[in-house]
Structures are given as C-alpha cells and as structure tokens.
C-alpha cells in the first residue's frame, strides 16, 4: 500500500511540475508591456468612453443606489479645461462603468440608424426582385412550390436561368446579414427582455 501511495505522489509531483514549467514558459513568452501605439489607442478609447459616461451622468440617465463605492470613484475623476479626463484619477470601477455605458450608448445609436421593420422590408424586397417573377408564374398557373420546382427542374434553360445569378445573390445576402447582425442582436435581445 505504501509503495502504491508513493508512486501516486511521484506522479502527482511530476504532473504538477510539468504544469508549473508550462505555466512559466507561457508567462515568459507573454509580453508584459504594451506598445506606445496600443497605449495611445487605449487611452483615446477610454477618453471617449468617459465622455459618454459624463454625458449620461449630466443628463441624469444613470441612477445609483446609495453607498456604492463607484460614486466616490466618480467624484475623484479630475477633468482638464478641454474636457479630457486625467486618466490617473480614473479607477477600475469607473473604467468598467464607462465601458458598460458605452455599449448601451452604441446599441442605442445603432437602433436609431435603421429599424427592424426597415431591415425586413429591404430583405424581402430584395427577395421579391430576384424571385418574384418565378413566384408570379407559380401563382398564375395554380402550382404549389413543389410542383413549380419539379416543372422548372425538367427544363435546362430554366435551371441555368435560376442558378447563374445564385453566387452573387448569396454573396449579397451574406453581406447584408453581416452588416445588420449587430443591430439585430441588440434588437432581438431588447425585444426578449421586454
């Protein structure tokens, strides 16, 4: 029993030392300093987020429960005459709050740009322009979609006519949904939480 126990401990020590060695290598290979360009970009973005936070606070759009430490942290932020914040006075709680408020702000701006109804209209109008002709023929002849598909598949000229523009059509659809995805994500989450 004692031999089995010692083998188990040796294995655990070996496994642990391997884990520690891998962690040391990973830490050594991870750059600990950011470049000057990255720092300036971060500070520029933080200044923007702080301006948005300040605007929301001035407009009374943010409410706080008494006793939160972030209230004192907000009071500690110092501003220059040009309106920029002294970043050395901005702690992590203010940075986090500014980030959260900025996400909300950007969501609102995106939602103002175009409504869900407009997106749907654009999409279905595009479908109508590309397939409305075939749909119209189907209705005129009293066919079901299945019957229309069978009839179309028997004529090589019809197949060529339908399939030729498909790559461009699909590319356009992918680009459209790629551009509207962020808005739809915000809109659908908002609708589901109401």
* Tens of pLDDT, residues 56-113: 999 999 999 988 899 999 999 999 999 899 999 999 999 999 999 999 898 888 777 7
What is the reported pLDDT for 194? 40
If one compares 186 and 72, the residue with the highest pLDDT of the two is 72
Domain count, the chain: 2
Q: Which two tokens stand for residue 159?
A: 């197949």
Please tell me whether residues 82 and 53 are part of one structural domain. Answer: yes
pTM: 0.51
92/48 same-domain check: yes
How many of the other CB atoms lie within 10 Å of CB of 84?
12
Q: Do residue 148 and residue 123 come from a single domain?
A: yes
Do 183 and 113 contact (CB within 8 A), yes or no? yes
Domain residues for the domain of 129 are 114-193
Determine the average pLDDT of the residues in 12-39: 63
Report if residue 170 sits inside a domain.
yes
Residue 192: pLDDT above 90? no
Out of 108, 123, 145, a domain closes at 108
Q: What is the mean pLDDT of the chain?
A: 82
| Average pLDDT of the segment spanning 31-40 | 81
State the angle between helix axes of 36-58 and 92-113 in degrees (0 to 180), rounded to the nearest 10. 70
Residue 22 lies in a domain: no
pLDDT of amino acid 6: 60
Give 3-state DSSP helix, strand, coil % of the chain, rounded to 5: 80, 0, 20
């Amino acid at each position: 029993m004692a031999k089995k126990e010692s083998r188990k401990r040796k294995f655990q020590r070996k496994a642990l030392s391997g884990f520690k060695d891998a962690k040391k290598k990973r830490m050594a290979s991870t750059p600990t300093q950011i470049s000057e360009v990255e720092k300036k970009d971060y500070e520029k973005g933080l200044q923007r987020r702080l301006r948005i936070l300040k605007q929301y606070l001035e407009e009374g759009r943010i409410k706080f429960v008494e006793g939160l430490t972030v209230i004192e942290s907000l009071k500690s932020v110092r501003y220059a005459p040009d309106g920029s914040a002294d970043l050395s006075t901005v702690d992590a709680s203010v940075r986090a709050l500014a980030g959260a408020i900025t996400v909300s702000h950007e969501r609102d701006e995106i939602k103002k740009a175009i409504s869900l109804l407009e997106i749907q209209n654009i999409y279905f109008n595009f479908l109508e322009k590309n397939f409305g002709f075939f749909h119209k023929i189907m209705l005129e002849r009293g066919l079901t979609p299945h019957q229309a598909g069978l009839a179309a598949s028997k004529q090589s000229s019809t197949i060529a006519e339908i399939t030729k523009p498909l790559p461009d059509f699909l590319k356009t659809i992918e680009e459209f949904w790629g551009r509207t995805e962020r808005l739809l994500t915000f809109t659908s989450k908002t609708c589901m939480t109401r």
